[in-house]
Amino acid sequence: MNDILVWTPVPMVMICSALFLITVPLVFVSVERWYILLGLILVLTGAPVYLLLVHNKYRPAVFTRISSMITDVSNNIFYQQY
């Protein structure tokens, strides 16, 4: 799989805007800070899930076998001949 090339300022703007969207509500909204922290925790759980289930370099062999078994079973169930 090839890497996707992106103009350098695009990820920089994305990171800055994400940090802005995370920090501003934490600083200025004191009433609903708990909900903001829960949302932040939910977003941060995506990184380990991505590394374990999606990224091939860090995925354990068990997840690869389970994924291929699920793919085979779903292909057998939903395959239609026309």
Query: What is the spatial distance between Cα 76 and Cα 65, in angstroms, rounded to a whole number?
Result: 17
Query: What is the spatial distance between Cα 22 and Cα 38, in angstroms, rounded to a whole number?
Result: 12
pLDDT band per the 50, 70, 90 thresholds, residue 81: low
pLDDT digits (tens, 9 = 90+) for 2-53: 677 888 899 899 889 888 887 887 787 777 777 777 778 887 888 888 877 7
Give the residue-averaged pLDDT of 52-64: 81
Query: CA dihedral defined by 29, 31, 37, 39, rounded to 10 degrees?
Result: -90
Query: What is the spatial distance between Cα 53 and Cα 17, in angstroms, rounded to a whole number?
Result: 27
Q: What are the boundaries of each domain within the chain?
A: 9-44, 46-82
Give pLDDT, residue 23.
82
pLDDT band per the 50, 70, 90 thresholds, residue 69: very high
User: Looking at the whole model, is its pTM more than 0.85?
Assistant: no
Give pLDDT, residue 13.
93
CB 26 within 8 A of CB 19: no
